[in-house]
Structure 1
Amino acid sequence: MTLKRALLGAAAIAIVAVIGLAWLLLPWYGSAQIEQDVTFIVPDGATLTSAAAKLEDEGLIASADAFLLRAKLLGGTGHIQAGEFELPAGASPARILDIFQSGEVVRRFVTIPEGLPAVLVHERLMAEPLLTGGIAVPAEGSILPDTYSFERGESRQAVLARMQAAMDEALTQEWAKRGPDTIARSQREALILASLVEKETGKASERPLIAGVMTNRLRQGMRLDVDATTIYPITQGRPLGRMIRLSEVRDPNPYNTRAVAGLPPGPITNPGRDSIAAVLNPADTDALFYVADGTGGHVFARTLAEHNANVRRWREFREREGI
């Protein structure tokens, strides 16, 4: 009889243990209350306790207390990360904790195209609703055009700082690879000249040749005659929206290379790495002039007579096409 009672007692204990283990494990490793993929934000400075309370408030787990108990017993000791996370449909509480501890933070992206001036970079960053805080209009030419990732809630200043650090790094790297034919005497001059090349052509293959023409003209003391430098003091890089006036062409302000020889005092846009590389290693050319050819590129000339003929053809093309 005693043996039978002992066996029954042992069986009862085993059953209780199994039930207890099932109570502990099934809710932890079984599906939570996430019916579809959802993003969840763990704020900066959040603890697991506050994150659990937020999960419960948003209806993603049944009980914060139960989550915390099982996390303490089964979830390890890793700290949770701050940021935005993607929680997949049907994720278990164990999976949620693993995502918080070691998962990838959801990253967003903002693209700065080559040749976007500082005022429009400012507008683009200020218009991004997932960034926080304000910024001043950055210095012209201080931003490297590229696609940058950011996290929801990150400050605009932090993103801008990465863009400016990228430009500093790119300019330093390209400067180290400069060739003997560059006319730039400093990284600053290279940046200014690159901004002019960036505005003059959107055709990547032409950039070294445009840089070569500008280099030739600067060496001969000729004006660069870049329309974008005439427009820049008027609009700070925004489209002019009309023809340039004769008074503006003749305005001897230091940016206006139609009226003043040499480089302007500062960049007129944010040039890409290719334009920087082009002015530091310009094409070997004897061309001094170029004009649009109607295909998005340019036709180049060595003499003013050749250039004038090319200009006539360009004007005929515009009249014929109605542009």
Structure 2
Amino acid sequence: MWRNITSNFLTAMIVILVAVAGVVAWAKREYVSEGPLSQAICLRVDQGDSFVKVSDDLKAKGAISSGYIFRTGADYTEKDGKLKFGSYLIEPGSTMEDIVDQITRGGPSSCGSELIYRIGVNTQTLALRELDPATGIYEELAKYDPVADPEPDGFKELVDEKNITNHRVILAEGATSWHIVQALKSYDFLSGDVKEVPAEGSLAPQSYVVTKGEDRNALIAQMQTAQSEILNTAWANRAEGLPYKTPEEALTMASIVEKETGVTAERPEVASVFINRIEKGMRLQTDPTVIYGVTNGKGSLGRGLRQSELRANSPYNTYVIAGLPPTPIANPGKAAIEAALNPDSTDYLYFVADGTGGHAFASTLAEHNANVAKWRAIEAQRAKEAGGN
């Protein structure tokens, strides 16, 4: 009898163990298999949230099949205590394993609403936008110039309602360091006092995700590091025979190219003009350097250059001095830096606006004068049409 009891008990235990092993194997497959989500969603994780709350949110949004398996998998992989707050874009079909990795790895928020602080060449813009997770496209909800315009009605309430995920600062190519610092000082979500304006040209025009309360000096240091990396990489891959002794001289040339054209495809051509002029011993004769000498990079000139300014003995007056000015005249972007260090091979010595937003290039003064005459005719026609209106 005892033999039968023992045999039955062992049989039952084997059945139970096999069943448990089957459940464990099924749970593992569920954890790493494609999830049930058919359309991308935003998952917001606030500071202090637990894996229980997050798993409940994911289950309610149809992103996971089991909150228990989700939490158990996080615990088994020792990630249950590493939850990072933020707003995450959960892609269709994401596995539980993928989601756990995403919300414990952290990094910049990839979903939700953003306040965009755009620092232009002479202006600023504050915009609120929100990502549509289904399309992956941001929808602009509101925008205004915080310096020139009053805050739109309901803007603050809309910002509060959207529970902002990111603050993003975007620098436009060609803004001066003084203008950038003035803008950063006006942003009350930042902290810290900037005592000195960074060296001209040292700030990389690009997009920066900023934490609320971040120190302005830390953000400026990030911008400087980014620009140094761009310049050093471009310098290491520069063309041979360029008339620069240092990367800083190349940065100065890049800033001139940046101010002369906003057409990306033209930048290598514009750079070739100035390099050709230097190699022939000709003066650069570029208005943006003269303007910088007049304004010291502080604001817009707001008028045309005077003849006295074009004749003035200034280190930035390239109608008077030979070669490059002593410093950059703005913060050039990556494309302008690369153009200055890998210019097109041309024999161009002149260029003038062509009426399309770009420029007409010429190798001889006669060709240039003809291009100038065409541009003057376009200007005259536009003035006539404006007067007629």
What TM-score do you get using the length of structure 1 for normalisation? 0.69
Which residue of 2 is the match for residue 212 of structure 1? 272
Out of 163, 166, 186, the position equivalent to 1:127 is 186
Which residue of 2 is the match for residue 308 of structure 1? 369
Distance 1:122 1:39 in 2: 33
- Kindly report which structure 2 residues correspond to 1:192-207, keeping only aligned pairs within 5 A, or say none: 192-207=252-267
Out of 233, 236, 244, the position equivalent to 2:305 is 244
- Do residues 257 (structure 1) and 318 (structure 2) align? yes
Shift of 1:261: 1.5
Contact 2:235 2:341 in 1 (8 A): yes
Contact 1:212 1:285 in 2 (8 A): yes
- Do residues 233 (structure 1) and 300 (structure 2) align? no
Out of 234, 237, 240, the position equivalent to 1:180 is 240
Which residue of 1 is the match for residue 173 of structure 2? 114
Please give the per-residue CA displacement for 1:172-208, whole angstroms capped at 9, x wherever unaligned.
0000100114222210110000000000000001100
Distance 2:304 2:187 in 1: 32
Contact 1:181 1:282 in 2 (8 A): no
Distance 2:173 2:202 in 1: 12
Shift of 1:129: 2.2
Please give the per-residue CA displacement for 1:81-122, whole angstroms capped at 9, x wherever unaligned.
7xx7569xxxxxxxxxxx998766643210001111111111
Q: SS at 1:163's partner residue?
A: helix
Comparing 263-272 and 253-262, the one that deviates more:
253-262
Q: SS at 1:291's partner residue?
A: strand
Contact 1:182 1:282 in 2 (8 A): no
> CA separation of 1:286/1:101 partners in 2, compared to 1, >3 Å: closer, same or farther?
closer
Distance 2:254 2:210 in 1: 27
Contact 2:234 2:337 in 1 (8 A): yes
- Do residues 279 (structure 1) and 348 (structure 2) align? no
Contact 1:181 1:281 in 2 (8 A): no
Distance 1:137 1:155 in 2: 15
Distance 1:246 1:39 in 2: 61
Q: Comparing both structures, which one devotes a greater share of its residues to helix?
A: 1
Which residue of 1 is the match for residue 197 of structure 2? 137
The percent identity for this pair of structures is: 44
> CA separation of 1:307/1:127 partners in 2, compared to 1, >3 Å: closer, same or farther?
same
- Structure 2 unaligned segments of length 5 or more: list them: 1-42, 50-74, 89-101, 110-164
Higher-Rg structure is 1
Distance 1:86 1:313 in 2: 54
Q: SS at 1:299's partner residue?
A: strand
Shift of 1:127: 2.2
Amino acid of the structure 2 residue aligned with 1:232 = Y
Which residue of 1 is the match for residue 18 of structure 2? none
> CA separation of 1:174/1:102 partners in 2, compared to 1, >3 Å: closer, same or farther?
closer
Contact 2:352 2:361 in 1 (8 A): yes
Contact 1:184 1:280 in 2 (8 A): no
Please give the per-residue CA displacement for 1:187-244, whole angstroms capped at 9, x wherever unaligned.
0110000000000000001100111010000011111011001110222333211110
- Do residues 267 (structure 1) and 321 (structure 2) align? no
State the Cα RMSD in Å. Answer: 2.7
Aligned residue pairs total 245
Contact 1:122 1:137 in 2 (8 A): yes
Distance 1:190 1:160 in 2: 22
Q: SS at 2:352's partner residue?
A: strand
Amino acid of the structure 1 residue aligned with 2:256 = L
Q: SS at 2:331's partner residue?
A: coil
Distance 1:39 1:112 in 2: 29
Q: Which stretches of structure 1, 4 residues or longer, exceed 6 Å deviation after superposition?
A: 37-40, 99-102
Contact 2:293 2:315 in 1 (8 A): no
Comparing 251-260 and 179-188, the one that deviates more:
179-188
Distance 1:78 1:124 in 2: 39
Distance 1:200 1:225 in 2: 12
Shift of 1:168: 0.6
Amino acid of the structure 2 residue aligned with 1:277 = E
Distance 2:336 2:251 in 1: 9
- Structure 1 unaligned segments of length 5 or more: list them: 1-36, 43-47, 52-74, 88-98
- Do residues 166 (structure 1) and 230 (structure 2) align? no
Amino acid of the structure 1 residue aligned with 2:259 = K
What TM-score do you get using the length of structure 2 for normalisation? 0.58
Contact 2:205 2:332 in 1 (8 A): yes
